[in-house]
Amino acid sequence: MINEKPRVRFAPSPTGYLHVGGLRTALYNYLFAKHNNGEFILRIEDTDRNRYVEGAVENLIKALEWCGLEYDEGPGKREQFGPYLQSERLSLYDKYAKELIEKGHAYYCFCTHERLDALKKEQQQQKLPQAKYDKHCLHLSKEEVEEKLASGMPKVVRLNVVPDQKVAFDDVVRGRVEFDTHNIDDQVLIKSDGYPTYHLANVVDDHLMKITHVIRGEEWLSSTPKHILLYDFFGWEKSVFAHLPLLLNPDRSKLSKRQGDVAVEDYRVKGYLKDALVNFVALLGWNAGDDKEFYYLNELIDSFSLERVNKSGAVFDLEKLNWLNAEHLRKKPDAELLALLKDEIQNSTDVSTEIKEQSYSDEYLIKIIDGMKERVSFIHEYITKSPYFFVAPAEYEEAAKQKGWKPETPEQIKKLRDAFSALNNPVKEDYENALKQTAADLNIGVGKLIHPLRLATSGMSTGPGVYDILVIIGKEEVIKRIDTALVKLG
Ligand code: GLU
C-alpha cells in the first residue's frame, strides 16, 4: 500500500458549518495528497439523521472551495461530481453488516430501550468504569433470531467484540497505540432506523474507496480500535493512521465556541484572507522544522509531511492569525487589493451608504492603497482607519482639537489655505514647500500648521504623512475641507 499513490479523504459530518479543526484536518489531508501526487476525496458522513442540519453540506463545500481545497473525485461525471454522500450508499453498508453476521463477528440485537437503560443503571450501581452491552442477544438461537426478524421487531446490528484481547496499531503521529478489547463495547453497526453508524460506514467506505491514509483529529483515536477490529473481521488491509493533535484555546482548554469563533465562515465574514487562514491553520500542529511561518498554499504543499506533525495540542493564537493576515495582505499586488477593496465597498454591510453611493475611480483607490498599505491588517481597515479618503470628516477628534486647534490657528491656517490655492497641480513637495514658507512668513514652527491641517483634512490626529493625505484627496478637496474646518472649528 505504501508505494501506491496515496488516497486520502476528508469525511466530515454535516453538522452545520466547517469548524477550523475540520479545516485543519481537510488541509492536512489535501497537503499530504498533493505533496505525494495523490488524491483527495470529500466524503460526507451523513448517516446520523438526528444530527442532520439543512444546508450544512452546501456550507461545507462552500467553505472548502473558498479555502481553495478542491477535491479530486466523486460520484457521477467528472465535470459535475459532488462529494460522496454516505446516505446514498446505504445498501452497501447493509450488505457488509450481513457479511459480518454470517461470519459471527456481528449479531442482531432486539433489546428494548427499557432493558438497555436498566442494564446501564445496574452497571453504574456496580460502579463499573464504563457501561457495556451484556451480549444478551448474542445467545439467542438461530430460530429465535429468525422469528424476531420475521415479526418485524425493532433491531440493531452489533459488533461482536471478543473481550480481553489487545488491539494495536502504529500511528504516524502518536507512535504505537494499544487498546484492550475489554474496554470496547459491542458497538452498534446498523441502527434501528436502518442507517449504519459512523464506525461501520467509515470503515466500509475507507476500504471501498481504497483510502491509504486516514488522517483525522485526535478525538477519533478512541474509535480506531473498533475500526481495526472491523478491518480484521472483514480480512481487509488497513489504512495508515495519523491522528492530529487537539486544537486548544490559549488557556490550553479545548478550542470552543465560548472563547471565540470556530467556524471558517466567521473568519471569512470578519475579513480574514483565505491565504492567511490556510497558512495559520497549517501551522496548528505542523512545522517544517525551521522558523518559517509565512506560506502560500503551494509552498505548504511542497513542505508538508505527516512525520512533522506534532503530538501535543496546538494553541489557537488569534494574534498570530492577525499578523499573518496583515503579512498576506501587504504582499498582495495592487490589482488584487483593488478588487478586494471594491468588493468590500460594494458588499460589506459595515460600509455606510454614503460611501457605497459614491463612485471612486480605480486610480483614486490605488492611491489610497499605496498610502495605507503598511498601516492595515484587514481590507476593511482601508475604510475604517482612513474614512477621510472616502468622505470628508463630519466630526473632528476631540483630543486632536484641543491639542492642534488654538485660538490663533484660524488666522494662520487661512494663510496656508491661500498659499495652497496658488499652487498649480501640486505634488507632495509643493505642499511641503508652501507650508514651510507660510510658517516662515508667520514666524511660527511648522507644527503649528501641520497639526490643524491634518485635523481639517482628516478629522484625526494619526494616519499616513499629512502631505500624502493632501496628494490623495487633491487640492480642491483640501481647500474645501480647510474652509469647512474654519466654519466648524472657528
Ligand atoms: N465523520 C467523522 C467526522 O465528523 C469522520 C472522522 C474520520 O475522519 O474518520 O469528523
pLDDT tens readout for residues 392-404:
999 999 998 998 8
The DSSP code sequence of 22-77 is HHHHHHHHHHHHHHTT-EEEEEE----GGG--TTHHHHHHHHHHHHT----B-SS-
pLDDT tens string 272-328: 999 999 999 999 999 999 999 999 999 999 999 999 999 999 999 999 999 999 999
Residue with the smallest CA separation from ligand 1 atom 10 is: 12
Residue 318 confidence (pLDDT): 95
Cβ(326)–Cβ(376) below 8 Å: yes
User: Starting from the edge strand earliest in sequence, which strands make up the sheet with 188-190, in order?
Assistant: 106-109, 156-159, 188-190
DSSP state of 269: H
Question: Does the Cβ of 81 fall within 6 Å of ligand 1?
Answer: no
pLDDT at 131 over 90: no
How confident is the model over 319-372, as pLDDT tens digits?
999 999 999 999 999 999 999 999 999 999 999 999 999 999 999 999 999 999
The one-letter code for the residue type at 265 is E
Residue 193's identity, in one-letter code, is: D
Q: Specify the pLDDT at position 78.
A: 60
Is the fold of 91-190 the same as that of 398-489? Answer: no
The strand pairing partners of 215, in sequence order, are 242
Cα 394 → chain centroid: 38
User: How many other CB atoms are there within 10 angstroms of residue 464's CB atom?
Assistant: 20
pLDDT value for 86 = 96
Q: Which three cell numbers stand for residue 63?
A: 467553505
In the predicted model, is pLDDT for residue 427 greater than 60? yes
From the CA of 206, give the closest atom in ligand 1.
9
Q: Using the predicted structure, report yes or no on whether residue 23 has a pLDDT greater than 60.
A: yes
Whole-number pLDDT of residue 270: 93
Report, as an integer, the average pLDDT of 417-425.
97
* CA 45 to ligand 1: nearest atom: 1
CA 277 to chain centre: 6
144-178 burial, b at 16+ Cβ within 10 Å, e below that, comes to ebeebeeeeeebbbbbbbeeeeebebebbbbeebe
What's the pLDDT score for residue 375?
94
Q: Show me where the domains of the chain are located.
A: 91-190, 332-389, 398-489
Q: Lowest-pLDDT range, 128-137, 149-158, 187-196, 473-482? A: 128-137
Q: Which of 446, 467, 462 is nearest to 400 (CA)?
A: 462
Tens-place pLDDT, residues 64-114: 999 999 999 888 766 678 899 999 999 999 999 999 999 999 999 999 999
Contacts 24+ apart (CB under 8 A), 97-106: 97/157, 97/189, 97/190, 97/196, 97/200, 99/234, 100/157, 100/159, 100/189, 100/230, 100/233, 100/234, 101/157, 103/233, 104/160, 105/159, 105/160, 105/233, 106/157, 106/158, 106/159, 106/160, 106/189, 106/233
- Asked whether residue 261 carries a pLDDT value surpassing 90, the answer given is no
Q: How far apart are CA 170 and CA 102, in angstroms?
A: 30
Check residue 92 and give its pLDDT: 96
Determine the length of the chain: 490
Cβ of residue 52 lying under 6 Å from some atom of ligand 1: no
State in Å: Cα 482 to ligand 1 middle. Answer: 62
What integer best gives the mean pLDDT of the chain? 95
Active-site choice (95, 257, 292, 356): 257
Q: Write the burial class of residue 353 (CB in 10 Å: 0-12 exposed, 13-18 middle, 19+ buried).
A: exposed
> Which of 53, 202, 241 has the most ligand 1 atoms within 8 A of CB, as the residue to mutate?
202
Q: Is 216 in the pocket of ligand 1 (CB under 6 A)?
A: yes
Closest CA to 18 of 321, 376, 261, 332: 261
- The predicted model scores a pTM of 0.91
Query: Active-site residue 226, yes or no?
Result: no
Q: Is the CB of 45 under 6 A from ligand 1?
A: yes
Question: Looking at the domain covering 91-190, what would its CATH class be?
Answer: alpha beta
Q: Which of 8, 13, 51, 212 to mutate to test the pocket of ligand 1 (most atoms within 8 A of CB)?
A: 13
Q: What pLDDT score was predicted for residue 295?
A: 98
CATH domain 398-489 topology: Arc Repressor Mutant, subunit A (1.10.10)
Question: What digits encode the pLDDT tens for the residues 193-218?
Answer: 999 999 999 999 999 999 999 999 99
What is the predicted pLDDT for the residue at 380?
Answer: 97
In this prediction, residue 77 carries a pLDDT of: 64
For residue 6, what pLDDT band results from cuts at 50, 70 and 90? very high
CA distance 95 to 86: 14
Q: How far is the CA of 387 from the centre of ligand 1 (A)?
A: 46
**Closest by alpha carbon to 380, among 272, 267, 260, 261?**
272
303 lines ligand 1 (CB under 6 A): no
Question: Does any ligand 1 atom lie closer than 6 A to the CB of residue 202?
Answer: yes
Alpha helices in 358-408 (DSSP H): 362-372, 381-384, 398-404
CA end-to-end distance (rounded Å), the chain: 81
